[in-house]
Amino acid sequence: MKRYAAMIGTVLALNGGPALAHHSATMFDQTKRITVVGTVKEWQWTNPHAWLQLAVPDANGKLVEQGFEVGSPNTMFRNGFRATSFKPGDTVTVVASPRRDGTVGGLLMQAKTASGVWLQWGAGADAAAAKAAGVPTN
Partner 1 sequence: MIALGLAPAAWAQSAGDDTGGVTKWTPPSADPRDFEGVWLPARSAPPGGGGSGPAGGPPSAAAAPAPALGVRSGRPADAPVEIGLLDQAPAGGGAPPGAAAAAVSGSTLQCTPIDRVGGAGGGMSNLWFQDPHEIVMISEEDQDIARKIYLGLATHPKHLVPQPNGNSIGHWEGNTLVVDTVGFGTPDGKLRDQHRIERFHKAGNYLIDDITTISGGQVQHQTNREMWRSDLHVFENVCEEGYDRYQVVNGQVVNPNTAPGEGQ
Partner 2 sequence: MTDSREKKAKKPMRKLPLAGLAVVIAAAGMASGATLDIDGPWQVTKPLQPLRPDDGSALPFTAAGLAAFQKNHAAVGKDDVDPITRCLPPGVSRLFEQPMPFSIVNGKKLVGFVFQWNHLNRIVYIDTPRFEPIGPAYLGQSIGTWDGSTLVIDTNQYNDTTWLDDTGVPHSDQLETVERLSLSPSGRQLIDRITFTDPVDFTHPWSTTIRFREEPGLIVKEDYCLGRVGKGTSGG
The interface region with partner 2, picked from 70-78, 97-105, 110-118, 128-136 by CB under 8 A, is: 70-78
Comparing CB distances to partner 1, the nearer of 41 and 79 is: 79
Asked if residue 52 binds partner 1 (CB under 8 A), the reply is no
Residues in the chain: 138
Spatial contact of 86 and 43, defined as CB atoms under 8 Å apart:
yes
Main-chain dihedrals φ then ψ at residue 124, nearest 5 degrees: 90, -5
Asked if residue 124 binds partner 1 (CB under 8 A), the reply is yes
CB of 77 to partner 2, least distance (A): 5
CA 21, CA 115: separation in Å to the nearest integer? 35
Partner from partner 2, partner 1, none contacting 79, C-beta within 5 to 8 A by type: partner 1
Asked if residue 108 binds partner 1 (CB under 8 A), the reply is no
Spatial contact of 90 and 39, defined as CB atoms under 8 Å apart:
yes
Asked if residue 110 binds partner 2 (CB under 8 A), the reply is no
Spatial contact of 33 and 96, defined as CB atoms under 8 Å apart:
yes
Asked if residue 56 binds partner 1 (CB under 8 A), the reply is yes
Residue 49, CA distances (Å) to 9, 45, 69, 100, 135 in order: 19, 8, 6, 19, 27
CB of 76 to partner 1, least distance (A): 9
Asked if residue 71 binds partner 2 (CB under 8 A), the reply is no
